[in-house]
Structure 1
């Protein structure tokens, strides 16, 4: 049985799509999944990147593509009332329902669908209060230990080379993005390509040129 860690932030529509599709994508395989929330914004900051929604033309394309992907894969999705939003309330609520930095699939599903179904404000305080009443977390989401778990999850992910969400991690390999699910399945099925050196070769490619400032 393979052990997969699914790293995600509720702010990411691609994480939502991958979460919904994961059981179907891995149907028939022997695996266990740990669902580990991280703060995507901290990853972006660490790597000096802007998020897709912070680049105006890319923002428009991202939402169009997400809506198309949901349609094409039969996944219910409505954009929230505003995006991006502050995901900390949702992330901490989910972690308050779990332990050791992990949440179960029911909790992740409930919060993901709070964000990506219905078209409401994902960060609205009243809606988050209703979500908390539904989930009944055994810990206070504002507890310092919960906050520390989110920080530790994110820092550990960055230390292992993660740069975005969703990322599935298995056997020390990372598979990033909704479109990486077929590749993940091929790996779990033992496709010989992964033992042929191409995976390692990609990381050894020399950098030919780097940009400096606006030059």
Structure 2
């Protein structure tokens, strides 16, 4: 049976750009459909009480070195934007506005990724945003309540499924996180029996050994 892989994506993540580029090769020959759902990564991280890697200075530096190295290996253009992190809300709303159900196609996603990750320019420069919006020809108002509602719904849906970061791929209710999870995702789609065994199902039974601090 043809499966649907839902790619929960925030274009602010360089790892999501790496994963987007690698995904067609990872899924080549697999009978599946990919659906793209933009989510607000900051909202996902806040829900789980987590901080983004760019908010921790040493991790920020490592992240940028790592993604530049990985992009080099993939032959992918990846230039650090003039400001990072930045608030990606305008770009996410534009993405959802390109489709009535808020699910942009691959071409729209690629345009958004390239807007951020090619050329090292300012992602939120007004003239660049205007040109990108004209190119994508949204069917909804990116500044209207419908686009905002769709983005909130996608983000809540992702959190409800257990998504804790981006890129995340969800198929049959199973979450695969990170660009490096693509071989694992492909194995699942190919019917690897490992995914029906205890090494997938029983990890949640491991006892947590530290005191649980109350969440504010």
Same-fold call, TM > 0.5? yes
Distance 1:203 1:95 in 2: 34
Distance 1:211 1:57 in 2: 26
Contact 2:6 2:36 in 1 (8 A): yes
Q: Write the deviation string for residues 109-154 of structure 1: whole angstroms up to 9, x where unpaired.
A: 1111111111111121211111011111122100101011001110
CA 1:146/1:51 → structure 2, altered by over 3 Å: closer, same or farther?
A: same
Distance 2:194 2:172 in 1: 16
Residue range with higher mean Cα deviation, 192-201 or 177-186: 192-201
Aligned to 2:211: 210
Partner SS state of residue 202, structure 2: helix
Partner SS state of residue 174, structure 1: strand
Instruction: Tell me the CA shift for residue 212 of structure 1.
Output: 4.7
Runs of 4+ in 1 over 3 A off after TM superposition: 210-213
Distance 2:196 2:140 in 1: 44
Contact 2:140 2:146 in 1 (8 A): no
When normalised by structure 1's length, the TM-score is: 0.96
Aligned to 1:71: 72
Note the residue ranges of structure 2 that are not aligned, 5 or more in a row. none
Root-mean-square deviation (CA, aligned residues, Å) is: 1.2
Distance 1:196 1:95 in 2: 37
Residue range with higher mean Cα deviation, 128-137 or 201-210: 201-210
Within-5 A mapping of 1:4-23: 4-23=5-24
Number of residues of Structure 1 aligned to a counterpart in Structure 2 = 213
Aligned to 1:197: 198
Partner SS state of residue 134, structure 1: helix
Distance 2:13 2:100 in 1: 22
Within-5 A mapping of 1:86-165: 86-165=87-166
Residue range with higher mean Cα deviation, 96-105 or 14-23: 96-105
